[in-house]
Structure 1
Amino acid sequence: MKRGFLQRLFLTTTAICSLCVAGDRARAQQTGETLEPYQMIRSLQYVQDTVVMGDHSAGEMQRFMLSSLDKRLRNINPKVFEDPRNVDAALIYAMSGGNPATLEFLVARDVGGNFDTRVGDVLRKYLAGRGLMVAKTLTAMVPEYQNQRIGPYLALVAGNVMVAKDSNEALRFYSAARLAAPGTIIEEAALRRSVAIAVEKGMPEQGIRFARQYARRFIHSPYASQFADLFVDLVVKHYGVISQEDVDGALEVMSDDRAQAIYLRIARQATIDGKTDLAREASLRAKQRGGDAQTPGSSVAKLYGGVANLSAGEIGKAAEVIEAVSDDQLSAQDRAIRAAAQRVAEEVMRPPSNVSLEQVSPDTVANQISAEKTSALPAHDATGTPAAAAAASASATPLDSEVKSFIDKGRSSLSAVDDLLKKDK
């Protein structure tokens, strides 16, 4: 029903905007259909809010509305801005992804003083990438406009500017924006950017709270992939402070396929970072959300579950699980990690050579020590080391050399594994 309404709205707005932009006054007078900027901005807001709630088919309409508004604002009679609603519409257009040059154009033509010069100057600098220059003015302006149409937009802009200066202040502005415009594209952007601050500044408790809210309200947004990246970073970096219950609580409202995809990403990153407990739990949850169906997701879950169990003392069983996963169901990154895990398992399970066994046998060590003329040594050497210890140290030189060679070989193998993992980060 919503999609049908959007289609009718799209067709109606297209027809009306075509009249306005074409400038065919005679036809417009005959039909009596004209749109003020504030009327057009309402349609844009509705479309944008529909997009972040999950109707991606409205994305094309959003682009059309922005283009139509741009043309309309540039060709409209300046007297329409005597209505404050049209002034707000122009400012909201600029803060909603519109053309910054159009705001410059309108402010330059404003001989009647309809635009607040402070707001115009702040937005022009912000849209030009110089928001920090007007940070003080902007933050003082937010309370003044909090109950007006542009209030939530100014709060969002203030949050964006303050991120680089004061993360706590930025979060305060994002909260103000969310409270003033719930269920809108403003709340979606404010929540997503709040999660980003929590990740960057190490605020796990706040981050998981923001993530839970976002997952419940905007998981179908076209920007949800950015949220997923942030959520994975948040969980992997702060696992321990963030519990498995926190993770499950954030993802419980998602569909199984979406939740499984995020659990697998957590398992992959945790494996790379060496957090085996998290990798094991995330793999288990991915299997559970995938159900009994044999899907690529279930195969990946088995892979990371096996990799996580390598350090749990079940090397043989884990190696069998890893080996059983088909390469056809793995991405290039997963295949690289699988190869690295197999190399680790091979090194751990490789039996020692006969030469090494002979070197560390009791008889060999005893013979080496007894061959030395310990009675001819002084009671202590020059450094105060007891003679028996010095003799043992001297006789162990061949053994240490072989051990060092074995360790160097092991380090070489582990270095190769590390290189494989680094390529996939």
Structure 2
Amino acid sequence: MSADASIRLAWGQIPSPGEVGSELERFAGRRMDRIIAIVVGVGSLALGVQALLAALGGMQNATFSQYLVIMLVFVPWALMLITCVIGRGMRVAAGVFASTYLIVLLLWPFVAIRAGADPADQPWIFYLVNVAGTATVVAFPLALQVAWVFVGPLLYGAVRLIQGGFQPEFWITTAFDVSFTLILGGVLVALGWMFRSVAAGVDDARGRAVASYADAASAAALEEERVAVAALMHDSVLAALISAERAHSDRERDLAVGMAREALTRLANAEASTLHEGNDTPVQIERIVDDLCSALAEQGVAPVVEQFGTGIVPDRVARAIALAARQAIGNAAEHAQARGLEVIVEGHGDTGLTVKVSDRGDGFDPDEVPADRLGIRGSILARMAAVGGTAAIESGADGTTVTLGWSAR
């Protein structure tokens, strides 16, 4: 296989983001659950076959109730083995088997043969006490597993004594059987808990490592983007300045103005997904109102946009003002938690409009904003300058007000 084919094959096997979130988040935990299910299946098969042979060996004079008890135990047991092999439905099947076995234990005193019972010979249900205990490791949470470790063996001991008529010789053998199943069941539950805890720790460490790598990759990508934006802005501004210096005719001056506007637009759109400046098609300011209402809904805040008057502005102006106001709304939601957030759009007919975004946060000093942050300088100030508008920011202890304006004159 060629190198290109190998790369394409590996690329095609990379899971989608949804698959990563659902599968790799508990990668070790899922593998450990699968291993536990296989071990439970192997152990259940060995002890279950032994119990089944013992049950079939004593069916010469069996009654209907005894046949029913055997069916209640071994049908769910067989289903549990099948699910452990195919890897699906294990929890449900194991839970059904553990529950039906508990029911059989409760019914055992009524269906067991008491006459001639030998205390040295365990009944066939004894072989399944720890099988049901391991089934709880697959099916139930830790609290129920621990409860079964005590309830299952003790219940078996009670029904065994009832079967033997509480004769003294039954007490000794039953105490030995119960103590053995208690110890073995506790060890099995402890091992299952330990292995799952280790797997959970591995998944947690993997998750933190992936998150750290993602943060580092994001920071590196952001830094590269800032370097690229800085280089682009340097070239754009330098070209605009050279054109302005060499402009002697009206056409050359218009060209220099257009280049400056393009540079400002690129700066404004450096952190936005919308890269188009728009055109001069006149639009109603209601479109700006609708856009800002959508911005408030995206931030999950209750205030509505208040509109006063009407107006018509070019499409590029409406686009720039809406994006600049969106940035101001996002800043208010992030830094002031949208306290006292108000958005007012005031139209001045065909002469212009004004948009005010205010909040009641703690305020900030615009001069102290780091130079590499484009939220205010790029998305608000440069964007409004690119369309010949104005942007004013007033901030203090009582809150922050961002005023955006554009005039046809």
TM-score by length of 1: 0.28
Q: Answer 1 or 2: which has greater strand percent.
A: 2
Higher RCO, Cα 8 Å, sep 6+: 2
Greater helix proportion:
1
Rg larger in structure: 2
